[in-house]
């Protein structure tokens, strides 16, 4: 319903503006949507042909384009400190900070029978979050805390960390990252009883714009039994020493 309203809202604005103002309005609207983290889907917006090119081909193209960017802003690419930067950035983008875009890098998971019949919540605290804001391509960094209540099977603890890492290594907004982690845990663990809590700082807030170094962003996603206030409070109490 909101999407339909939103489309009608745009159309009304366009109909009441002239041709010149129309382009400026839409441009401003897109910028406004970006700053407000509006998104129609919890899926990362990648094209269908995103993985047709090999990693090496992608790095070659990024290297060339980033070299042009450095040249445009006036840097001396003959300098020993700078001439290798375009390749370093290209490699970093493809194989490191955006490696979570490639489904082939998704961590394999193996579930184990819950031999101990453990039926209480399991909490993994202080999982590092290193991601990148998709609006300004600046770092997001902080901690994730995740929990689940076993439903007959359990998973190796490190896999919880790897799921957080996988979805973090892509251009993100924190709200989407939180939902993606929760949805993946639900699918992987075959249970709705999942909780995700992320507390992170955004360099796009700290180093530009309002430049508020001390603020952080908290997002949460609860499912199943964690929608119950007592269960949710038990989870929050378990991670309270890390908040």
Terminal-to-terminal C-alpha distance of the chain: 36
Q: What is d(CA 243, CA 241) in angstroms, rounded to the nearest whole number?
A: 6
CA distance 143 to 129: 5
Distance CA 98, CA 80 (A): 27
- CB neighbour list of residue 21: distance below 8 Å, 6 or more residues apart: none
The catalytic position among 37, 135, 192, 206 is: 135
Task: State yes or no: is 133 an active-site residue.
Answer: yes
Q: Clarify whether 65 is annotated catalytic.
A: no
Q: Which of 183, 173, 195 is nearest to 125 (CA)?
A: 195
Of 133, 145, 172, 221, the catalytic one is 133
Q: Is 136 a catalytic residue?
A: yes
Cβ pair 69, 86 in contact under 8 A = no
Catalytic residue among 145, 165, 184, 202: 202
Catalytic position from the list 124, 130, 136, 192: 136
Active site residue 37: no
57 is known as an active-site residue: no
Catalytic annotation present for 120? no
Active-site option among 172, 174, 180, 221: 174
Cα distances (Å, whole numbers) of residue 203 to 94, 125, 166, 214, 216 = 21, 23, 20, 11, 10
- Is the separation of the CB atoms in 199 and 157 below 8 Å? no
SS3 147: strand
Is 145 known to be catalytic? Answer: no
> What residues are labeled active site?
133-136, 174, 202, 204
């Amino acid at each position: 319903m909101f999407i339909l309203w939103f489309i009608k809202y745009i159309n009304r604005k366009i109909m009441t503006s002239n041709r010149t103002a129309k382009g400026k309005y839409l441009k401003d609207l897109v910028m406004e949507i970006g700053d407000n983290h509006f998104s129609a889907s919890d899926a990362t917006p990648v094209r269908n042909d995103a993985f047709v090119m090999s990693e090496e081909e992608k790095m070659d193209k990024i290297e060339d384009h980033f070299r042009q960017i450095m040249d445009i802003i006036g840097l001396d690419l003959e300098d020993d400190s700078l001439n290798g930067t375009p390749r370093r950035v290209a490699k970093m983008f493809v194989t490191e900070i955006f490696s979570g875009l490639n489904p082939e890098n998704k961590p394999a998971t193996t579930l184990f029978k819950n031999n101990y019949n453990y039926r209480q919540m399991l909490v993994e605290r202080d999982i590092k979050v290193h991601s990148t804001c998709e609006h300004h391509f600046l770092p997001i960094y902080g901690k994730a805390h995740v929990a689940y209540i076993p439903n007959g099977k359990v998973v190796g603890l490190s896999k919880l960390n790897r799921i957080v890492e996988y979805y973090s290594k892509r251009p993100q907004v924190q709200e989407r990252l939180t939902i993606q982690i929760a949805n993946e845990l639900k699918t992987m663990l075959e249970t709705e009883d999942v909780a995700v809590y992320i507390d992170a700082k955004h360099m796009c807030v700290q180093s530009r714009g309002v430049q508020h170094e001390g603020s952080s962003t908290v997002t949460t996603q609860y499912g199943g039994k964690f929608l119950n206030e007592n269960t949710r409070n038990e989870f929050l109490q378990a991670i309270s020493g890390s908040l």
